[in-house]
């Protein structure tokens, strides 16, 4: 990228995410989920300036997030399931939590200078109940969509029992349990996270085969004799000095011949690509300075150093994730 116009375009791309975040925050998609509406109608219901709201709506049309016919705005058919709050595929909760992170990026220079987080103490993990609730709902919303790509790579035999470490709302585990009534699972995460998760899944038939264990997975005891340990979307939170002890605990929790599945964003050997993974590491460091997105090569080495062998790696098509499967060496 050596064209000045391209550089200016890159510098202005936050305008696009700011427009989307504003629409989510104002509740525009909640109203349009029930049908098309004019800027005047929406402004009255949302108590907004018609002039400013129309400018936002027109910009969203240009971004192809909304469609427009005459003076009527609507959600395009292909985005309807993702932007309808009543849809099981809704991403609105994930987008709302993403909006919480938006202001943190403006503090990136200070974070880089000092090595300190822009948001101390990870309030989304329990210090701020409302933010934590949005975080768990956002994880569930995003995981529900990601599960479509990830679950075909997690094929287990009958009677498989697994431990989902740092499983958050347990969305992957619950969807797996729904595939086979012989499956059993335990989700281990912080107490406020699993409490919110239980509320999210209330009434689901497979809940009687899912145990939520509240605790810090660094210090909590893991149940033993597991066929599988899942570690999905949490590796990037861990500094390397904590990984050895954690992987050894996972290894000890597995039966002989069991498998550990690590699923997360990964970086190529030079750590510059994929760009999303490189930027995601910054996003995490804004809240947790010790966070790190790993390369596949380093992850496989860490697994080999902690009692695992036979590492099998595969990129999960249609997602930004990579899966590494490993077996205890015993």
Give the per-residue SS3 of 21-50.
HHHHHHCHHHHHCCCCEEHHHHHHHHCCCH
> What is the rounded average pLDDT of the residues 224-240?
95
* 37-38/210-214 β-pairing: unpaired
| pLDDT class of 138 with cuts at 50, 70, 90 | confident
Q: How far apart are CA 26 and CA 53, in angstroms?
A: 10
Is there a contact between 189 and 167 (Cβ–Cβ < 8 Å)? Answer: yes
Relative to beta strand 308-315, strand 254-265 is unpaired
Q: pLDDT band at residue 120, thresholds of 50, 70 and 90?
A: low
> What is residue 128's predicted lDDT score, i.e. its pLDDT?
66
Query: Given this model, what pLDDT does residue 183 score?
Result: 98
- 261 φ/ψ angles, rounded to the nearest 5 degrees: -115, 115
Could you give the CA distance from residue 114 to residue 104 in angstroms, rounded to a whole number?
Answer: 15
Output the pLDDT for position 279.
96
Secondary structure of 243-289 as H, E, C letters: HHHHHHHHHHHEEEEEEEEEEEECECCCCCCCHHHHHHHHHHHCCCC
Residue-range domain boundaries for the chain: 4-81, 104-328
161 and 177 in contact (C-beta within 8 Å)?
Answer: no
Mean pLDDT over the full length of the chain:
92
Strands (E), the chain: 37-38, 67-69, 72-74, 161-165, 184-189, 210-214, 226-232, 254-265, 308-315, 321-328
pLDDT at 122 over 60: no
To 5 degrees, how large is the angle CA 162–CA 167–CA 171? 90
Between 24-33, 119-128, 280-289, 295-304, the lowest mean confidence (pLDDT) is in 119-128
Among 127-136, 218-227, 234-243, the range scoring the smallest mean pLDDT is 127-136
Tokens found for residue 274? 């994929």
3-state secondary structure of 329: coil
pLDDT per residue over 150-171, tens digit each? 999 999 999 999 999 999 888 8
Task: Please state the pTM of the whole predicted model.
Answer: 0.90
pLDDT in tens, 176-226: 999 999 999 999 999 888 888 877 888 888 999 999 999 999 999 999 999
Fold of the domain spanning 104-328: Rossmann fold (3.40.50)
pLDDT by residue (tens digit) across 53-103?
A: 999 999 999 999 999 999 999 999 999 999 999 998 899 988 988 888 888
Predicted local confidence at residue 329, as pLDDT: 92
What percentage of residues in the chain have a pLDDT greater than 70? 96
Distance of alpha carbon 294 from alpha carbon 171, whole angstroms: 24
Q: What is the CA radius of gyration of the chain?
A: 22
Task: Tell me: cis bond preceding 160? Omega within 30 of 0 counts.
Answer: no
Architecture of domain 4-81: Orthogonal Bundle (1.10)
Model confidence at 11, pLDDT cuts 50, 70, 90, reads: very high
């Amino acid at each position: 990228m050596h064209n000045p116009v391209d550089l200016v375009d890159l510098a202005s791309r936050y305008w696009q995410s700011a427009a989307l975040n504003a629409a989510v925050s104002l509740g525009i998609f909640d109203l349009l989920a029930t049908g098309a509406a004019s800027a005047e109608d929406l402004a009255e219901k949302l108590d907004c300036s018609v002039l400013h709201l129309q400018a936002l709506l027109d910009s969203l049309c240009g971004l192809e997030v909304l469609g427009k016919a005459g003076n009527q705005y609507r959600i395009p058919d292909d985005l309807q399931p993702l932007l309808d709050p009543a849809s099981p595929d809704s991403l609105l909760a994930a987008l709302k939590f993403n909006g919480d992170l938006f202001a943190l990026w403006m503090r990136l220079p200070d974070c880089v200078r000092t090595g300190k987080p822009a948001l101390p103490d990870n309030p989304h993990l329990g210090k701020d109940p409302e933010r934590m609730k949005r975080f768990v709902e956002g994880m569930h919303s995003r995981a529900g969509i990601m599960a479509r790509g990830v679950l075909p790579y997690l094929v287990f035999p009958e009677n498989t029992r697994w431990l989902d470490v740092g499983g958050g709302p347990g969305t992957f585990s619950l969807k797996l349990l729904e595939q086979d009534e012989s499956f059993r699972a335990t989700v281990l995460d912080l107490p406020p996270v699993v409490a919110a998760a239980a509320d999210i899944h209330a009434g689901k038939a497979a809940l009687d085969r899912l145990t939520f264990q509240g605790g810090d997975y660094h210090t909590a005891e893991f149940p033993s004799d597991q066929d599988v340990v899942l570690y999905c979307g949490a590796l990037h939170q861990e500094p390397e000095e904590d990984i050895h002890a954690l992987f050894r605990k996972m290894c000890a929790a597995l039966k002989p011949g069991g498998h550990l599945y690590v699923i997360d964003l990964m970086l190529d050997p030079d750590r510059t690509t994929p760009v999303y993974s490189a930027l995601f590491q910054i996003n995490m460091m804004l809240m947790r300075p010790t966070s790190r997105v790993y390369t596949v090569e380093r992850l496989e080495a860490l697994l080999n150093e902690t009692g695992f062998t036979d590492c099998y790696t595969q990129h999960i098509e249609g997602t930004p994730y990579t899966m590494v499967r490993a077996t205890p060496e015993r």
